Chain A
Amino acid sequence: MPTFSSARIASGLALLALSLAADAGFAASSRASTPQVEAELVASAAAIRPGDKIQLGVRQKIIPHWHTYWVNPGDSGLAMQIAWRLPDGARAGDIQWPTPGRFKLGPVVNYGYENEVTLLTTVTAPATLPAGGRFPVRATVDWLVCQETCIPQQVELELTLPVQAAGSAVGPGSPLIEAARAQLPASTPWPVEAHASKDALTLRIADARLAARFASQAPGELWFYAEQWGKTAHDAPQPVTVVGDSLEIRIKPGDEPPKDGETLAGVLSIRDDDGQTRGYRIAAPVSVTAGASAVAPPTGDNAGSSGLSVGMAVLLALAGGLILNLMPCVFPVLSIKALSLLRHAGHDRALVRLQGLAYTGGVLASFAALGAVLIVLKAGGAQVGWGFQFQSPPFVLAVAYLMFAVGLSLSGVFTLGASATGLGASLADKPGYAGSFFTGVLATVVATPCTAPFMGAALGFALGQPAPVLLAVFLSLGLGLALPYLLLCFWPALQRALPRPGVWMERVKQALAFPMYGAAVWLVWVLAQQAGPNAIAIALGGMLAIAFAAWLYDSSRNAHVFARHGSTGLAVLTLLAALLGGYAGVQANAATPATAGAAKHAWEPYSKVRFDELRAAGKPVFVNFTAAWCITCLANEKVALSDVGVADAFRQAGITYLKGDWTNQDPQISAHLAEFGRSGVPLYLLYPAGTGSAPQVLPQLLTPNTVLSAIAAAGPGTASPKLAKE
């Protein structure tokens, strides 16, 4: 009996010990169930060794129509939580979340999982773990499971792994771990940009294959899951558009939209060609565009970006206008005016003044008209800038014809009647106010391609301003252009300083025809860039017709009245044919510009994607924004950028030279110009090495030395990353 009873006591004690152990927490198993969820704790290996990193998984099997939640649960709900209790020295990482799904309940959208999910966590064992021992792991898992109603639940899961000696072979763990890894979002294989404005977050994914798929097929399921609450509106649709080789996803911002420079993190889920949904981890720094700063008044906003005040811009425009007088296309026109003034030097001073005023009026009216056109285009949301009219091939052709006709007139091929509203009027004996006015218009038209220094900044500023400021800057520019001639008319002392009239004036006049022909030749070349080689034939044919019409008109001036009317009629018809034929011809060809082979040059053509790629890699970049119709740009390229020393310096510093051609309209380039408060070319930017480095803005008139010293200034930082890599 005593033995029996002692056995009972012993068994009783054993039971007691067991229940105590249970209280101490050793009774939890690797599985636990609630009515909605079966949970299980699994490991990636059958045993653990000192210093090992293993993965633990909490697997949930959820009954149909119920779901648990992702790290960002969406509009309601609660993310799952795991609290680990590990042996001393062991560490657990964060939960690795599989790609979630979406659940919509009326206007409420949730992010989470249904049916089955495994949450992985990496656990690191301490290096001092004694072999032969045990490695108990305990997890308190909290979740909210919802169908329509929600139930918060908590389970305790436990798993004990044997500890093996370092270097020994370890048996395989649960196959659930491998399956769970396949559900994790992959790292993103494409460059992704995030832009934010007040109304939209735009994710731009540069991938031609993806873009082609979404352009050609019915869009597969695509959704961006933001990792943090408030960054995006969870319930709003995310429309996808294809822009060139990129995909743009437009997302409605949430209650706490990302700020400039903040990283937008999340998962992009895409249903692939094979019907499988795959997730990709996104972490894109957000750039906020001006549209976002709705509170800042537009004036302050833009003044800040180009660093100019209204008064300063008006002064710069005045200086720019003055300098325009010296530009090769304007100078001949003005010289003619000055010459005609000499003829009238002895005449009534009041008449001379009136002529000066008429000319000024012509210039100002043209600039006001240009300003008005810009205001209207801007209101329509167009991307316009200074010299924009030269982006239209018919306009370029018309100016080429005009230059040619002025040249013919200067050469003496024909002379327009004094009463006509032509250019010849200014050379006629009688002072023609209309003639002076239109000389002013002509000066403005031919001045537009010559962006003088200082003008770029002032015009860029003006274009971002309300209409009155824009007009003020434009009129100031016009005043600058008109000022020298106006002063000449009002200041007899200046007139006296001019040389005395004589036969030489006729010679000078004829000589000045040649810059005009030169300008016409240049414009035909511009046209060829815009509309292809056929445009050259069209333009030259048109010029032939104009020359013929001019000769016909002039040679029949003193003929019999019928012959005169007949030839004039024929001249007009020829002229019309040249203009209309030319217009139709270049319009048809406008879409087929000759593409210059970039490969043989030291530069690459600019594209936003290429630029961003280089900047993202921290490579130094030189950007040249140019246009074939921009004389300053061409001069800079010839003088400075094609210089052997400069090309060498670019190569040595590892600088990639990108050339953005704005000859035809290009919204990407317009946007880049706008970033620097500019609305026209040229613009030269040197980005030193390193991601996020601030660019140097080079002056609008370049010399090889300017460029070389800019490279030197960016120098050490520019060259070293390249060396470091090699």
Chain B
Amino acid sequence: MPFALARKLSRRSLLQLAVAALPLAAVGNAHANAEIGQPAPAFTAQGADGKPVSLAAYKGKTVVLEWTNHECPFVVKHYESGNIPQLQKDATAKGVVWLQVISSAPGKQGHVEGASAIKINGFRNAAPSGVVLDPDGKLGRLYGAQTTPHLFIVDPAGKLVYKGGIDSIPSTRKDDIAKADNYVKLALADLAANRPVTHASTKPYGCSVKYAD
């Protein structure tokens, strides 16, 4: 393939140029930026408690980003069963930062103000480190979040090491949880043991993220 090199180089550098020229907010493609093995896209967003949340502040720690919508049946499955709350408790006990992200636009399913988001977490025994409000969907689009739940894991060096579903059986049935491979639990175990993440990219499943039109 003597000429592939030249073509490859020029195409890649063009792409880099194109990406560099795009302002962050204009990125409309659903999975353009968050790539496994690449630095996770940096962000600063509004927290439910009114304080800004910045990814850079958690350098040196593992960060889990969980897109959520408390009215979505897939999210309900994993909260009513206690699956996600337990994962949150186990992870944060080991020093992992777990951030819920709510990208539902105002007037759409799952959209809540900061105070309600915290109250809802109380009702369902959720224990994240924080809740990020993303009503304009910028953070969701930056990461290419498609579903609720949709999970991303950033390692202590700031690299994206996991993106995908919560587990391996896409359904709304609670009794499937025990039968499924919990990809997030497995990825966190891999990270804790300094192993490369075995299933780094899996199929996310759930309701669509209710972005602003």
Contact = CB atoms under 8 A, between A and B. Distances in A.
B211 to A, nearest CB: 3
B3 A383 contact: yes
A254 B203 CA distance: 11
Contacts of B15: 199
Interface stretch (B26-34, B80-88, B92-100, B190-198): B26-34
Contact of A108 (B3, B12, B201, B211): B211
Contacts, number: 133
Interface string B189-213: 0000000000001011111111111
A256 B208 contact: no
A108 B209 contact: yes
Given A76-B204, A106-B213, A150 B5 contact: no
A161 interface: no
Nearest to A78: B170
B41 to A, nearest CB: 15
A380 B10 CA distance: 9
B114 interface: no
Interface string B129-167: 000000001000100101100000000000000011000
Contact of A289 (B4, B10, B28, B146): B4
Interface in A133-192: 142, 144, 146, 148-152
B174 to A, nearest CB: 11
B116 interface: no
Contacts of A110: 208
Contact of A381 (B10, B12, B146): B10
A109 to B, nearest CB: 8
A88 B151 CA distance: 43
B109 A236 contact: no
Interface string A374-418: 000011111110000000000000000000000000000000000
Interface stretch (A19-27, A262-270, A294-302): A294-302
A238 B74 CA distance: 30
Interface in A290-316: 290-291, 294, 298, 301-302, 305
A654 interface: no
Interface stretch (A585-593, A630-638, A674-682): A674-682
B52 to A, nearest CB: 24
A235 interface: yes
B208 A75 contact: yes
A229 B212 contact: no
Contact of B1 (A235, A254, A294, A302): A302
B211 A107 contact: yes
B59 to A, nearest CB: 26
A286 interface: no
A549 interface: no
Contact of A294 (B8, B108, B171, B172): B8
B109 A148 contact: yes
A302 B3 CA distance: 10
A199 B11 contact: yes
A559 to B, nearest CB: 56
Contacts of B29: 107, 233, 235-236
A76 B5 contact: no
B57 interface: no
Contact of A378 (B6, B31, B210): B6
B146 A76 contact: yes
B30 A76 contact: no
B119 interface: no
A149 B71 CA distance: 9
B147 A106 contact: no
Nearest to B140: A107
A721 to B, nearest CB: 31
A429 interface: no
A109 B2 CA distance: 38
B192 to A, nearest CB: 24
B31 A255 contact: yes
Given A229-B203, A235-B29, A290-B8, A106 B212 contact: yes
Given A78-B171, A233-B31, 6 more contacts: A105-B210, A108-B146, A230-B203, A290-B5, A378-B3, A381-B7
The 4 A-B pairs of least Cβ separation, nearest first, read A464-B2, A106-B211, A290-B4, A290-B1
